[in-house]
Amino acid sequence: MLREDIDIDWIKEHPWDLKDAKVQTYEMCIESIKKDGLFLKDIRWDELDFNKEQINNLCLIAVKENGLALEYVKKQTEEICIVAIKDSSYSFKYVKEQTPKICSIAVKEDIGALKYVENQTPELCLEAVRHDGWALKHVKNQTEKICIEAIKQNPSALCHVENQTEEMCLIAIKKCPWEFSSVKEQTEAICLEVVRERGLSLEFVKKQTEKLCKEAVKENGLALEYVREQTPELCLIAVRENGLALEYVKKQTDEICREALRQNKQAIIYIEDGKISK
């Protein structure tokens, strides 16, 4: 039941009671939505004779206070939508007419807004992934250019690429070798690049070659732990890079042990009895 005693002074103290006021005035509406923009839903527009400027002003005040009030704006303008989105990126889903400017601002505020964009243009998608590569997961039509730009901005975006190319994978692992785990097809070039950047990545290489293993232990001798077929040459390269790699040598020789000690005297703890001459 509507109450006659609710006036502007009451609304200043009890803004949530706007819905119960028998008579709503422009000033009462302003006081209410200044406290919580979502009270915009309680304005009985059909009973009020507000002009266009007043209506627009009320809506602006509401979305400035709470962007989600956009849900209750009947006549949206680009300005109102932008103000709402800047307050709350989630309000983008309530935008009735998505203009390029609104969409651009929305994805800059929150990459998740891209999934609500009805018309994802290549330009908008490029802008989004250049701002945050992770936005690629919301791109409906992935082009090679969009994917590359996304990976350049954030190599972790590789895991969201539907059709990976060798170039994309190389860009990603050069920036962050740990992204090797997202590579769908391990080519020799990709594997070489990753072990040159981080030798220990040899652990995740499906098909090892002597060349790959050599590059891995050159970068980090401890990668010897993941070499499936050790050779004396590989072991020597490994212990010369890090004497402690002797721990992973399956067949110790006098030469390998001496090279390990030369690099790091602490390698002595890994020397097997009788493997080094006095």
Tens-digit pLDDT profile for residues 174-219: 999 999 999 999 999 999 999 999 999 999 999 999 999 999 999 9
pLDDT in tens, 155-176: 999 999 999 999 999 999 999 9
Helix boundaries (H) for the chain: 8-13, 26-35, 52-65, 78-87, 100-109, 122-131, 144-153, 166-175, 188-197, 210-219, 232-241, 254-263
- Domain limit, last residue, from 70, 95, 120: 95
- Residues 107 and 166 both lie in one domain: yes
Q: Is residue 79 part of a domain?
A: yes
Same-domain pairing of 15 and 71: yes
Structural tokens at position 259: 């090279």
Helices (H) and strands (E) in the chain, counts: 12, 0
Q: Are residue 7 and residue 51 in the same domain, yes or no? A: yes
Asked which of 117, 152, 170 is the last residue of a domain, the reply is: 170
- Which residue range is the domain that position 112 belongs to? 98-170
Residues 5 and 59 in one domain: yes
| Residue 277 confidence class, pLDDT cut points 50, 70, 90 | low
Last-in-domain residue among 66, 95, 124:
95
In a domain, 215, yes or no: yes
Report if residue 199 sits inside a domain.
no
Q: Which residues contact 171 (CB under 8 A, 6 or more apart)?
A: 148, 151, 152, 155
Per-residue pLDDT reduced to its tens digit, 91-148: 999 999 999 999 999 999 999 999 999 999 999 999 999 999 999 999 999 999 999 9
Residue 58 is assigned to a structural domain of this protein: yes
Read off the pTM.
0.79
| Count of the separate structural domains present in the chain | 3
Answer with the residue of higher pLDDT: 217 or 2. 217
